[in-house]
Amino acid sequence: MTDKTYNVLFLCTGNSARSIMAEAILNVLGHGRFKAYSAGSRPSGQVQPMARELAEAIGFDASQVRSKNWDEFAVEGAPEMDIVITVCDNAAGEACPVWLGHPALAHWGVPDPVAATGNEEDRRRAYTAEFATLRRRIELLLSLPLQSLDRLAAQAKLGEIGRVGAE
């Protein structure tokens, strides 16, 4: 058994919903074995209220969460990431910074609930559905024997997880 805490960075373009929800889920379900962060290539500057609400509903303290640029994690002194996961198709296609430590990289594309149309109930359904998809994928991440996988094997397993629920 290892005492290692794995640092995971979730990336999205706006860092206002999907990446924030993933950060919250992993920090709650990871029970200290993981430290999750989130950022965006072009952060919106705000956290979507429904994303914040869902994060808080599972016990995440969202008081310190904010929409931020991924450059904060690519500078000297930033936490070294073990895993970097894009959760939106736009961020997956962008040129990412060079991450210190050569983390395992994966793409877990999730539809953007911010783009949901309709009334509040329709939008809430979209947020809840994407939150559930992220939670299921994070539960699978938590079941991986990361301490016994090299970076390439971990990256392959993380890629497989990214296809769960994408059918």
Residues belonging to the active site: 12, 88, 96
SS3 for the chain is CCCCCEEEEEEECCCCCHHHHHHHHHHHHCCCCEEEEEEECCCCCCCCHHHHHHHHHCCCCHHHCCCCEHHHHCCCCCCCCCEEEECCHHHHHCCCCCCCCCCEEEECCCCCHHHCCCCHHHHHHHHHHHHHHHHHHHHHHHHCCHHHCCHHHHHHHHHHHCCCCCC
